[in-house]
Chain A
C-alpha cells in the first residue's frame, strides 16, 4: 500500500473514528460520507467507544505477506456497541481462548512492518475487555 493511502487512513485506524448520520443518527464505520441507512450525506466525525463483541472469528496459521511475524493470530468480525461491524486482529489473547460473544475493547497496536526499511503501520486491534471493566470495578 502506498504511503499516501496509509496517511489518509490514519485517523480512522488509530482511534476508531467513523461518522454519525445527522438525519437518522446511525453510526458509520468505516467512514463513507453517505449514510447506508437513509442515503443522506453523513460527514460528521464520530469517536467510537471501542467496545464490542466477537461476532465470528478465524485463526490464521498461513498469513499473507507482511504478517508472517505475528502468526498464528486470530482475526475477528467485531460488532461494535454502536452497531457497525469491523474486521480486525485480536491481541492479548491466546488463540484457543477466543469465543463468539466475547466482549472486547479496542487498542492501538502495530499491524505490520513494511519490510526492514519501510514504514511501521499502526491501527486498531481488539482484546478481551479488561480496562473498562477494571476501571468500573474501581469506581463502584
Chain B
C-alpha cells in the first residue's frame, strides 16, 4: 500500500518492526564532579552524575559488535539472513574504511550483505533505522541491522567534556509478524542549523553555545514529535514511554513537559545522568532500556536529535513476543550497574589525552 500523495508520515508498504535489540555500555565511569574538580575547582553546575568511558581496547567497532551480538541473541535468527549492516556514529575508528564491514565480519553476516556507515551527528543511528525500514518494508530484504554507537570526545574543560559519553544500541529490523515491537510510522524534520560541528582533522567539536537549545534541540525534537502524534492520530496519553535525545538531563525532561508527557513516561528511557550523552547511541540506548521494561501492547515514542540539525521520530507498539526475548541478553540496566569509577588522570590516559611524543 503506497502512502497517499502529500503524506509526510513515513510508513513502508509492508509493515515492519524490531526483531531484536541490544545495548552496550563500557564499564568505566567518570563522575562529572571529577571534571569540575580539575577545571573549575568544583564550582560548576553538573549537567549529569557521571558518564561512561570506553576502555583502551574499545572503540565504535568493538562496542557495536557486542550490542549487535546481544541483538542477534534476542532475535534468534541466523546472521547469514542479514542483508544490511549499518553503523551510525561520529566516532568511527577509521576516517576512511567502514566500521560496518568489521561488525558484519564479526557477526558472521559476510559476504552476502550490504554494509555502510552513516553520519549526522547524534541522529546517525536513527536514520539507519529508517533506511532499514525502507529496505525491509519494500521487500528488498528480510532483515537489516541498524546501529547507533559513539565514543564522543569534548575538548578538555569544555562544557561537553562533562557529558560526552560512550555507548549505544543495535536493532534488527524485520517483518512485523516476527517483531517484538511494530514500527507504526516515522517522521523526520530537518533544517540547516549551525549549532554544533567538527571540521576534518579536528579532534574536538565546536558548538554555538546558547544557540544549541531553543532553535536547535527544542525546535526539532518537539516539532518532530508533535507532527508524528498528529499523523498517527495519537496523544501523549496513548504512550507508556517516550524517549528523547539526551545531551543532558534537563533537555529531554523539558521536551517531554512541553509536549505534555509526565515524568513517569520518560524516566525508564532517561539514562544520560548515569552514562552521559552517547551521541548517535543516546536515544537508541534509551529505547533498549524501555524495551527491557515494557509490556506487550505498550506504545513507545522515540525522538532523536542530530545537530546540523534534525530529528527522527518513531511510534512503536510492543507485541506479545517481547516478553520471551527480553531475557535472552543482558539488560541495559545490567550494563549501567557494571561500573568501575575512574579519576580524571585515568580518563586522560584512556581517551588518549596524554602527549606521548
Q: What's the least CB distance linking B215 to chain A, in Å? A: 38
Q: Mark B26-49, 1 if CB is under 8 A from A, else 0.
A: 010000000000000000000000
Q: With A131-B330, A138-B326, A139-B327 in contact, do A108 and B106 touch (Cβ < 8 Å)?
A: yes
Partner of B94, one of A14, A15, A17, A120: A120
- Closest chain-A Cβ to B291's Cβ sits at a distance in Å of 13
The answer on a CB contact under 8 Å between A135 and B102 is no
Interface: A49 (CB within 8 A): no
Whole-angstrom distance from the CB of B133 to the nearest CB of chain A? Answer: 28
Closest to B73 in A: A135
| Complex: A109 Cα to B58 Cα, angstroms | 6
Complex formed: what's the CA distance from A108 to B58 in Å? 9
Chain A hits for B331, CB < 8 A:
134, 138
Measured between beta carbons, the chain A residues less than 8 angstroms from B59 are: 110, 120
Establish whether residues B62 and A109, one from each chain, have CB atoms under 8 Å apart when the complex forms: yes
A51 to chain B minimum Cβ distance, whole angstroms, is 13
A135 to B326, CA, bound (A): 9
Q: Does B18 contact A (CB under 8 A)?
A: no
Chain A residues with CB under 8 Å of B61's CB are: 110, 120, 122
Is there contact, CB below 8 Å, between A10 and B105? Answer: yes
**What is the 8 Å Cβ interface bit string for chain A, positions 110-140, against chain B (1 contact, 0 not)?**
1100000000101001000011001100110
- Number of chain B residues close to chain A: CB under 8 A: 27
Q: For B104, give the chain A residue with the smallest CB separation.
A: A14
Q: Say whether A122 contacts B330, CB under 8 Å.
A: no
Q: Is B322 an interface residue (CB 8 A)?
A: no
Question: In the docked arrangement, what's the CA distance between A122 and B94, Å?
Answer: 13
Tell me, yes or no, whether A86 is within 8 Å of chain B by CB.
no
Do the beta carbons of B108 and A111 come within 8 Å of each other?
A: no
- In this complex, what residue of B is CB-closest to A137? B327
Closest to A50 in B: B69
Check if B106 sits within 8 Å of A120, measured CB to CB: no
Tally inter-chain residue pairs, CB-CB below 8 A: 66
How distant is the Cα of A139 from the Cα of B331 in the complex, in angstroms? 11
Identity of the chain A residue whose Cβ is nearest the Cβ of B324 in the assembled complex: A139
A47 on interface, CB distance cutoff 8 Å: yes
Is the pair A70, B328 in contact by a Cβ cutoff of 8 Å? no
| Chain A proximity of B147: nearest CB distance (Å) | 14
Least CB distance, B68 to chain A, in whole angstroms: 10
Partner of A70, one of B56, B62, B105: B56
Chain B nearest Cβ from A116, distance in angstroms: 10
Q: B90 in the interface, Cβ–Cβ < 8 Å?
A: no
| Residue from B57, B107, B327, B338 in contact with A130 in the complex, judged by beta carbons closer than 8 Å | B338
A135 touches B327 (CB 8 A): yes
A109→B94 contact, CB < 8 A? no
The answer to whether A14 and B330 touch across the interface, beta carbons within 8 angstroms, is no
Residues on A with C-beta less than 8 A from B136 are: none
| A111→B73 CA distance, assembly (Å) | 25
The CA-CA distance from A15 to B102 in the complex, in Å, is 11
Contact of A64 with B by CB under 8 A: no
Within 8 A of A (CB), among B38-96: 55-59, 61-62, 65-66, 70, 73, 93-94
Contact yes or no, A134 B334, CB < 8 A: yes
With both chains docked as a complex, state the minimum distance between the C-beta of A138 and any C-beta of chain B, in angstroms.
4
Query: Which positions 94-120 of chain A face chain B at CB distance < 8 Å?
Result: 107-111, 120
Residues of A within 8 A of B327 (CB): 135, 138-139
Any B CB within 8 A of the CB of A92: yes
B57-A110 in contact (CB<8A): yes
**A59 on the B face (CB < 8 A):** no
* Chain B residues near A10 (CB-CB < 8 A): 105
Across-interface contacts of B329 in A (CB, < 8 A): 131, 135
A49 CB, min distance to chain B CBs, angstroms: 12
Q: Can you list the 5 inter-chain pairs with the closest CB atoms, starting with the nearest?
A: A138-B327, A14-B106, A109-B57, A139-B327, A134-B330
Footprint of B on A, CB under 8 Å?
10-11, 14-15, 17, 47, 69-70, 89, 91-92, 107-111, 120, 122, 125, 130-131, 134-135, 138-139
Which residues of chain B have a CB within 8 Å of any CB of chain A? Answer: 27, 55-59, 61-62, 65-66, 70, 73, 93-94, 102, 105-108, 326-331, 334, 338
